[in-house]
Amino acid sequence: MLVGLGFKPLEAAKLALIGNTAPVAFGSLGIPLTTLHSVTGLDLHALSSMVGRQLPVFSLLVPFWLVAAQVGWRGMREVWPACLVCGASVATAGSAESPAAGDILRAVFFHSLALALLVGVVVLLQAYVFPWMIPG
């Protein structure tokens, strides 16, 4: 999909590999956790709770890592508030609900919440900080 959007193939592969790190691997319907549970016999709820406590750290770092890998540190300094909103919204929602949330909820809902918050920040910035950007 990234190549179709105009990214060079190696850049698209790099961004896809970074974006599909730990938060996505353990959030994809919990397949690694259910496999670990079936192989070892460990309690699935305890495994899910522990992963839910570890993933907010990675969820906070991944947006920064993606932007820095694509445009460098200078470009990342320009958009760090958007990275912070995305990472912090996924991390706080995921850590607050990690023991109670199911795997599908953790994978889909919290990232949708991050997208909604990012759109809200962009709209507020355009309306109040950069009003000259709004045509008409």
Q: pLDDT tens digits, residue range 11-53?
A: 989 888 888 776 665 655 677 778 888 999 988 878 877 777 7
Distance of CA 122 to the CA centre of its chain: 17
Please say whether the beta carbons of 95 and 52 come within 8 A: yes
What pTM was computed for the model? 0.65
- Residues 60-68 have a mean pLDDT of 89
36 belongs to a structural domain: yes
24 belongs to a structural domain: yes
What mean pLDDT value characterizes the chain?
79
86 belongs to a structural domain: yes
- The whole-number pLDDT of residue 128 equals 79
2 belongs to a structural domain: no
Q: Which of 4-8, 22-26, 62-66, 121-125 has the least mean pLDDT?
A: 22-26
Residue 135 CB coordination number (10 Å) = 4
3 belongs to a structural domain: no
1 belongs to a structural domain: no
Integer angstrom CA distances of residue 46 from 22, 36, 50, 100: 18, 12, 6, 11
Which DSSP letter does residue 75 get? H
Overall number of domains in the chain: 1
Domain ranges, residue 38? 9-133
55 belongs to a structural domain: yes
- The whole-number pLDDT of residue 9 equals 92
